[in-house]
Amino acid sequence: MLKKTIRFLDSAFNRIVAVICLLLFLVCLYAMIDAVNVYLNANDTSVLKYKPALGHGGEALKALSDDAVAWLTADDTPIDYPVMQGKNNDEYINKDPFGNFSLSGSIFLDSRNSADFSDSYSLLYGHHMEYGAMFGALDSFIEKSYFAQHRTGTLITASGQDYAIRFFASCKADATEKTVFTPPDSTNEQLLQFLKQHAAVFEPQGVDARSKILALSTCQSAENVERMVVFGTLTPVK
């Protein structure tokens, strides 16, 4: 009787271990598939067919979405995406430019900013993705050598006024820093003073309180409120 009980318990234990191992395998498999899907969504090049030429932003971007307000390109980086703007700053966190659910989300303009980039200070957000996807490439701008070689870009807007971008600063800042994260209320005087004190790279030649400034922001990790932010000036392209 004792031997039968021991065999039964041993068999039950083995079955429980097997079930646990199977569940762990399925969880790992799901995590792998999910990670691959996030990566593929973040690197989806199908949206590039909507990339407009200078002077033709309105036509191409409206064909993509009524919420598409611009196309952002940082030269010689993976940053080459449409810019969306939702009714609030949560709308495009987990939604792609086509309106579908996506953990990689979209690049989007702060909902408090004017959609035509007429504000003196405009703020863009994007997820921090692996391999430089979305705004993951912003990390590299903290290095002075990389920054020096990647200072230009373009912003083609749906309103018809396009801009050349000249990056002039990069820094890390808490998401609670009002000077950086309250557009368009932040004045350029306050912003430039903050950057003078806190920026890792600060090349302010030709930048003053009258400049039109664009900021690109991404999170550093899900565990803290630190953000990586790169700042540039917007100069109209006629």
Q: pLDDT, tens digit, for every residue of 168-186?
A: 999 999 999 999 999 988 8
Domains of the chain: 46-237 (2.40.260.10)
CA distance 79 to 212: 20
Q: Is the peptide bond before 184 cis (omega within 30 degrees of 0)?
A: yes
Average of per-residue pLDDT values in the chain = 87
Proportion of the chain above pLDDT 90, given as a percent: 74
Amino acid at residue number 207: V
Q: What is the mean pLDDT of residues 156-160?
A: 96
Q: What is the pLDDT of residue 50?
A: 95
Burial of 45 from C-beta contacts in 10 A (0-12 / 13-18 / 19+): exposed
